[in-house]
Structure 1
């Protein structure tokens, strides 16, 4: 017995279904390709700023204008506006020359340099000694006594002549009754009298004289003189 053959209609239906499946696969592949193309971003082309026709390849280093070729760049450079000049800075004036200020005077005087001292009486330099300060506290009248001795070395106050100048004309000049040597002699005499005075005044002058001599000897010993 012979095997039964499939019907012709059945074979045709199977082939048709197979063809439809292949077409569906091709359609899906095409759809996938289209989706990839849609996802890719479209690059924007910048045209040359000179000719406005060709895509630019370069940029002007000063104004950043895009250009496509050397020819366009040459045209642009000829039309390029000049660069703005930088604002000129005002000239810086040199500082004025420094003026050396005189050294400030010290409020404390140096007893070792009597040339620069400014004192009210010539014995103030000795007040820098603590021993003398103690002596002045012990004898409150001692500064006044020393000033009196110093006053003896000074010239006497000038006496105003009562004779009119017209009558003195032609007369020999009056001899001066004071000079430096006489002043020193009078000062020594005043010191001797003060040392011989009785009581506290004489004692103060004697102690003062001894202390001053002692301080001078100490100063000379320190300086090696």
Structure 2
């Protein structure tokens, strides 16, 4: 089956089926609809429906109503973010212990290179589809909370005294470690995913260090 035929098959309307039965009433045979009555067209909301949209199953009665519906059909959901995009940031690597807590204590080379190349990490993302979302939640806990001040236009901020939120990199790392401990201690698959992720990142970074020393 070629692409054109496949598309026609997907877009083909789903024919509604209504069963009928005969019943005797006052000696006359009358045809009555079984159990359920055919639904009303979801577009014009007047005529009985004959078909259903193959994408959202909205009932419609005619080609004209189908055309109106297709022109206003909600877009299909965007595909989920690929696992390869879920690469941990420097702060998250620091939280797992893969990097020193002070910038500059490690080699000058980027720590991301070994993560990007790791097929084991990509396999882990496939094994635990929710892992990217879990990592994002941990990293969010490490970021400075948005204050009401950030909503004030920049033109008005110049007249206000500077505000010290007390948030810095060290505090973010501390918050991230708390979130990571909670995630590691979670029951079921979520906890397993974070524990395996932490162990793998530490292993990859240690292998990278050994390779540089060799």
TM-score, normalized by the shorter chain, greater than 0.5: no
Instruction: Pick 1 or 2: higher relative contact order, CA cutoff 8 A, min separation 6.
Output: 2
Bigger Rg, which one: 1
Query: As a proportion of its length, which structure holds more strand?
Result: 2
TM-score for both structures, normalised by structure 1: 0.39
